Structure 1
Amino acid sequence: MARIHIDPLAAARRPDDPDVDVYLTGMVFLDIIFTGLDSAPVRGTESWARGMGMSPGGVANMATALARLGLRTNLAAAFGDDMYGDYCREALELGEGIDLTLSRTIPGWHSPVTVSMAYEGERTMVSHGHEAPAPDDPPPCPPRSRAAIASLARGRSEPWVAQAAAHGSLIFADTGWDETGRWDLAGLPDLAHCHAFLPNAEEAMRYTRTDSPRAAAHALAERVRLAVVTMGSDGAYAVDAGTGETAEVPAISVEALDPTGAGDVFVAGFVTGTLAEWPLADRLAFAGLTAALSVQEFGGSQSAPGLAEVAAWWDRVSMLPPADQDPGALSRYSFLGHLLPCAPRPWPLRRAVPTIGFRPARSA
């Protein structure tokens, strides 16, 4: 089926804008996802899954989420020269339309792999891989872009972050769990270059020594323009330090099958709304909705929704609100009707689950 392209930034684009909407870099994994497990694997036993899929993972989750929301996405990553690397590159470049001109294929380096097992709305993962060898020629400066996505590393500064910010990119960042237990914002030096910081509630409260996600967001807003704290099933809370505006949007109630990649989808949705110059509350609502749609499918990158799917969801719920949803809460998303065209396809949309191994049928 032909790709349906909707440009969410059409109304906000200007003649002197960069060709790239979002730049990001990181490690691409081959994700192997087992689904339909009745429970967590038990030591010493064999578990059978009712479904399995494969797709690019790691930073590819974020890149795919951005591209499916219509943003011109540039990814700089290393790919192995094995079949897994070839598959990931093809899936991202040809399947998702992601610009990989700054990526490289490394001879003799095998692709990192993650096996993910989804059950009861949770996941268990096992990964294997090695750091990619440093290139003989240092990569060029990041391309001029409207935004860039960074994963802040404790105690380490990534030079490209400062370069991108100096060239006008809005830096959106999250971070991982602090295994050291220090939870020191001073240990995130690249936070100084960020336009927005989007930790989850537990991370935000630990970093700010506060006892609520809202207090944590206000404390973080003393360091970044936009502080966004995600609260899982309770939604998200944001503070715009530039305007003093705050916003809180509850989460959409859904049956979560697999949370893999939901955080990446949320960030992608918020970046999209920010670049499109939507109101803060609309950005939060859109980000939360895209994340909610993603957890209803298995896997990471393949579960990311596109704008056509968001439009299809809104067309359906605006005409026939689900019995398990508060009509008043759903009305919060009425702004989508002014931003997205009528859905070109009916809901639900079945997203493809990429799998390695199939070959074209041979003629008899």
Structure 2
Amino acid sequence: MTAPDVVDVVALGESMVTFLPTRPGRLADVPSFDRGIGGAESNVACGLAAAGHAVRWVSRVGADGFGDHLVEAIGAYGVDVASVGRDPSRPTGVYFRTAGDRAGADHEVAYYRAGSAASAMSTATVELAAVRAGRVLHLSGITAALSPQCRELLWELTGPGPGRPLVSFDVNHRTGLWPTADGPRVLLELAHRADLVFVGEDEAEEAWGVTGGPSAIRDVLPEPQVLVVKEGGRGATAFVSSAGARGPAAPTRRGRTCQGPTPPGPADSRGVFVPALTVDVVATTGAGDAFAAGFLSATLRGLPLRDRLRHGHLTAAAALTVPGDLTVPPSRDHADRLAGLDDHAWGTLRLGPGWTQAGAAPEEVRTP
């Protein structure tokens, strides 16, 4: 068997067909929906591919039309979908949601994913060599909630071993997905085993009862080489450990790996904080995945920690200014220019719908 090509990032997880309402209102009242795609890991994969990285998405979908759509739509972003399995006995997951923002009291989501093809992912049903053939392996806590065999798969992939890629893990705590009360414990154990962890300040409190801000979360998660704590509209703080820190491995011609970008800098117990941008928000869906894609893209490029956070904020801003889960990120030159602004200019930046489009001239900088 030929060894799989080494790519920049492998993202493993479930994607679903998303039905977005054509008008506001209760699901009971909406007469029609537009079809889209949604899934935390595939969102990250599409964002990274759109930013020019070589990315592979590994999952399982049903042998049905919705599975065809997912594979074709994600592949159209430039993502390698050759390792997506097709399951003739299980369906592709789908979900419906209302047009309102997820944080709103009237927001509704109806999931139809129980027993989906992706919930049958396991060490026996996915191509492990293809999963491990990346400089970075991106995972999420959502996968761990799908089934016991999915949890066993993530445990295997986050374990130590020769040739293990840098493991990126987005906690993504979703209370409603867990059939039992052990979700927070499982998520914490997986986060302990990862190299780079993304977690929201709010979900750390909800899942683990951690209060006291980013430093308190770092006390609970001292093992990851890089810990990124997202603080909602305020910004994000990143902690880095110099002890044993490493960058993602870089591919060689024969598919072996060698050391890649250098760590982002010396350890700082206080962390590095970068404020969020002022954004004219259309919808928040997918913003967290976009932030992870921007941060990972900058990590692959070996940028300083501050710039990694800024690229996360910029890519999140692209998602915040569209109604769906996915959008085209800003061009690399455009994002680099904005990420390089001085602190005052960064603080007065305002982004609205259309700001990433070529030739668009939004009012990026507002008068303080």
Matched, 1:300 2:319: no
Q: 1:10 is matched with which residue?
A: none
Of residues 329, 352, 359 in structure 1, which corresponds to 2:347? 329
Q: 1:248 is matched with which residue?
A: 273
Q: 1:24 is matched with which residue?
A: 11
Note if contact 1:204-1:216 (Cα within 8 Å) is conserved in structure 2. no
Q: 1:347 is matched with which residue?
A: 360
Q: 1:41 is matched with which residue?
A: 26
| TM-superposed deviation, 1:185 | 5.3
Of residues 113, 117, 139 in structure 1, which corresponds to 2:127? 139
Q: Which amino acid aligns with 2:213?
A: P
Higher relative contact order (CA 8 A, sep 6+): 1
1:119 alignment partner, SS class? coil
Q: Which amino acid aligns with 2:128?
A: P
Of residues 57, 80, 101 in structure 2, which corresponds to 1:99? 80
Matched, 1:277 2:302: yes
Note if contact 2:318-2:329 (Cα within 8 Å) is conserved in structure 1. no
CA distance in 2, matches of 1:150, 1:67: 16
- CA-to-aligned-CA distance 1:241-267 (integer Å, 9 cap, x gap): 222232111111112221111111111
How has the CA–CA distance of structure 1 residues 306 and 204 changed in structure 2, closer, same or farther, with 3 Å as cutoff? same
CA distance in 2, matches of 1:90, 1:220: 41
Q: 2:237 is matched with which residue?
A: 237
Q: 1:214 is matched with which residue?
A: 214
Of residues 291, 312, 316 in structure 2, which corresponds to 1:266? 291
Q: 1:117 is matched with which residue?
A: 98
Q: 1:322 is matched with which residue?
A: none
- Consecutive unaligned residues in structure 1, runs of 5 or more: 1-17, 320-325, 334-342, 350-364
Note if contact 1:313-1:348 (Cα within 8 Å) is conserved in structure 2. no
CA distance in 2, matches of 1:332, 1:348: 12
2:297 alignment partner, SS class? helix
CA distance in 2, matches of 1:205, 1:250: 21
- CA-to-aligned-CA distance 1:304-335 (integer Å, 9 cap, x gap): x3242x6557879999xxxxxx74525799xx
- CA-to-aligned-CA distance 1:135-166 (integer Å, 9 cap, x gap): 87663332421101111337944244236864
Deviates more, 1:115-124 or 1:225-234: 115-124
TM-score norm. by structure 2 comes to 0.72
Q: Which amino acid aligns with 1:329?
A: G
Note if contact 2:307-2:340 (Cα within 8 Å) is conserved in structure 1. no
| TM-superposed deviation, 1:221 | 4.9
1:198 alignment partner, SS class? strand
Q: 1:89 is matched with which residue?
A: 71
Total equivalences in the alignment: 308
1:259 alignment partner, SS class? coil
2:99 alignment partner, SS class? strand
Note if contact 2:11-2:137 (Cα within 8 Å) is conserved in structure 1. yes
How has the CA–CA distance of structure 1 residues 317 and 215 changed in structure 2, closer, same or farther, with 3 Å as cutoff? closer
Deviates more, 1:287-296 or 1:166-175: 166-175
How has the CA–CA distance of structure 1 residues 181 and 88 changed in structure 2, closer, same or farther, with 3 Å as cutoff? closer
CA distance in 2, matches of 1:210, 1:280: 24
How has the CA–CA distance of structure 1 residues 33 and 164 changed in structure 2, closer, same or farther, with 3 Å as cutoff? farther
CA distance in 1, matches of 2:160, 2:80: 17
| TM-superposed deviation, 1:210 | 4.0
CA distance in 2, matches of 1:198, 1:139: 25
CA distance in 1, matches of 2:70, 2:187: 33
- CA-to-aligned-CA distance 1:172-228 (integer Å, 9 cap, x gap): 112214566778657633334311111101122456654332223431451211111
Note if contact 1:24-1:76 (Cα within 8 Å) is conserved in structure 2. yes
- Let me know the Cα RMSD of the aligned residues: 3.6
Q: Which amino acid aligns with 1:174?
A: D
Matched, 1:149 2:149: no
Q: 1:287 is matched with which residue?
A: 312
2:92 alignment partner, SS class? coil
CA distance in 2, matches of 1:316, 1:140: 38
CA distance in 2, matches of 1:164, 1:66: 26
CA distance in 2, matches of 1:348, 1:33: 29
| TM-superposed deviation, 1:238 | 1.1
| TM-superposed deviation, 1:276 | 1.0
CA distance in 1, matches of 2:339, 2:197: 31
